[in-house]
Amino acid sequence: MYGMSGPYVIRGSVSLPEAELMWRFSRSSGPGGQHVNTSDSQVELRFDLAGTGALPEVWKQRALERLEGRLTGGVITVRASEHRSQWRNRETAAVRLAALLAEATAPPPKPRRATRIPRGINERRLREKKQRSETKRGRSARDWG
């Protein structure tokens, strides 16, 4: 039960390389119990994005660009301390890192093609606008008298 649950897939056949993951454990400020002051349940997972060989070059450049604000010297850090067990926090951190990299390496969306608004729709909008203004003008108390 205590083995890490397999490779964390980023996308397709590319997954997080177990050897390149750097783990650090510290006391968590999260929910506690009997061993709260003795167990290092907070997990900090670091991954050297700039120096990895596991990602295709195109993906790596894309990720470096998109995660620029989160990187410290080319290294991305993910923390997890929601769970009381270190093992579950490790799982959470690894899954979170994989999801983050999947999002950062995704291909850019296709550019939107500009289309014209059909004339009928525009005319209908203006007609309804005029109708509404007439309705509101009819409510003014000017002609009551």
Encode the chain (145 residues) as per-residue pLDDT tens digits. Answer: 344 556 788 877 777 778 888 888 887 665 666 666 667 788 899 988 888 888 888 888 888 888 888 888 888 899 988 888 888 998 999 999 988 888 888 888 899 999 998 999 999 999 999 999 999 988 886 665 5
| HSE, side-chain direction, 13 A CA sphere, residue 96 | 17
- d(Cα 31, Cα 116) in Å, to the nearest integer? 56
Amino acid at 22: M
List the structure tokens of 74.
Answer: 């080319």
CA 84/CA 114 separation, integer angstroms: 52
CB-side neighbour CA atoms (13 Å) of 118: 3
Helices (H), the chain: 57-66, 86-105, 119-138
Rounded (5°) CA angle 10-24-48: 45
Residue 59 has a pLDDT of 86
pLDDT given for residue 104 in this prediction: 87
Q: Is 71 helix (H, G, I), strand (E, B) or coil?
A: coil
Structure tokens belonging to residue 17: 């390389």
